């Protein structure tokens, strides 16, 4: 069963591990939710991941380390933290964390005219290209090598069988030619003609396979070339289809990413509206209580006068 196109944390949008098919949160967000409760909307990146102080863990850490954020050159949200002093100027072109993650996921090197910073190498040390290769590519390479070996083996066996049949056919033909020469020699020796017997041999079949015209391999080669050409055409079609599907997947990923940002922005607006509504309700309740107290004081004063 294929997994989802984007396996990301519902809160911070970090990539989940491949074996986490049934999880919706990363380990960090799950731990923070158990500690602080349901998260709110981050005031910078607008993600539903603000467990404490109206900031998500990433924005809070980046603000302490790099200072106040600047607008992102791609999504225009004020959530891009300058990592260098030269970028700590209003109007500098820098990318936020979410746009960098999306660019790395789609293998982009430049977004909105800004180079995407490379991903930090893992601390486990450098490994060989063979170990860094995608398991699917290794499986495809192994399968392709095995199929090539099998085709070569079948071709070799077929060549041996054809060569064996050719050898038997040649031995049978030589034996028949010897018998014909012997019979003609006996007929001419007992005949009336005194002319020396000229051994007559049957003309060799120009179409019969031999070492000069390539033997069995020459007869088999056109079919092998035809099969190879057909396989190359099929392989090219499959590669074109794979490239097309990869392009479709990248477009779908970008569409889902944009929808996620739009949903986060709408959630932030909803949160702000609910907050203003609660403040307004509390203000009306307070005004009502003040009015009730004022009315009670007026009644008390009027009762004392009477």
Q: Which two tokens stand for residue 128?
A: 């060989």
The tally of domains found in the chain comes to 1
How many CB atoms are closer than 10 A to CB 80? 29
Query: What residue numbers bound the domain in which 92 lies?
Result: 27-119
Report pLDDT for 209.
46
Q: Would residue 2 count as lying in a domain?
A: no
Output the 3-class SS for 154-201.
Answer: HHHHHHHHHHHHHHHHHHHHHHHHHHHHHHHHHHHHHCCCCCCCCCCC
In angstroms, rounded to a whole number, what is the distance separating the alpha carbons of residues 97 and 80? 7
In a domain, 285, yes or no: no
pLDDT of residue 90: 77
In a domain, 252, yes or no: no
d(C-alpha 297, C-alpha 261), whole Å: 54
Per-10-residue mean pLDDT, the chain, length 306 = 56 74 76 86 87 86 88 88 82 85 86 82 47 48 52 55 59 70 66 47 47 45 55 85 93 92 90 92 94 91 79
Cα distances (Å, whole numbers) of residue 167 to 201, 210, 212, 221, 284: 19, 9, 14, 19, 109
């Amino acid at each position: 069963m294929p997994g989802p196109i984007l396996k990301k944390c519902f809160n911070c949008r970090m990539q989940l591990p491949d074996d986490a098919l049934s999880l919706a949160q990363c380990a960090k967000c799950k731990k923070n939710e158990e500690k602080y409760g349901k998260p709110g909307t981050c005031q910078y990146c607008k993600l539903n991941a603000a467990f404490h102080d109206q900031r998500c863990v990433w924005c809070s850490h980046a603000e302490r380390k790099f200072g106040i954020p600047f607008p992102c050159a791609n999504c225009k949200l004020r959530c891009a933290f300058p990592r260098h002093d030269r970028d700590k100027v209003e109007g500098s072109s820098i990318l936020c964390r979410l746009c960098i993650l999306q660019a790395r996921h789609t293998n982009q090197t430049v977004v909105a005219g800004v180079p995407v910073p490379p991903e930090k190498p893992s601390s486990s040390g450098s490994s060989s290209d063979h170990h860094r290769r995608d398991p699917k590519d290794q499986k495809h390479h192994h399968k392709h090598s095995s199929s090539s070996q099998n085709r070569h083996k079948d071709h070799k066996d077929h060549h041996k069988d054809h060569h064996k049949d050719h050898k038997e056919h040649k031995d049978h033909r030589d034996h028949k030619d010897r018998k014909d020469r012997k019979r003609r020699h006996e007929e001419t020796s007992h005949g009336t003609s005194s002319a020396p017997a000229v051994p007559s041999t049957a003309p060799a079949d120009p179409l019969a396979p031999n070492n000069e015209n390539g033997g069995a391999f020459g007869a088999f080669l056109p079919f092998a070339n035809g099969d190879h050409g057909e396989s190359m055409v099929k392989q090219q079609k499959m590669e074109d289809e794979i490239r097309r599907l990869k392009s479709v997947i990248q477009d779908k990923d970008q569409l889902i990413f944009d929808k996620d940002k739009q949903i986060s922005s709408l959630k932030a607006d909803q949160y702000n509206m609910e907050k203003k509504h609660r403040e307004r309700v509390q203000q009306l309740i307070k005004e009502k209580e003040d009015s009730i107290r004022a009315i009670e004081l007026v009644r008390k004063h009027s009762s004392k006068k009477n």
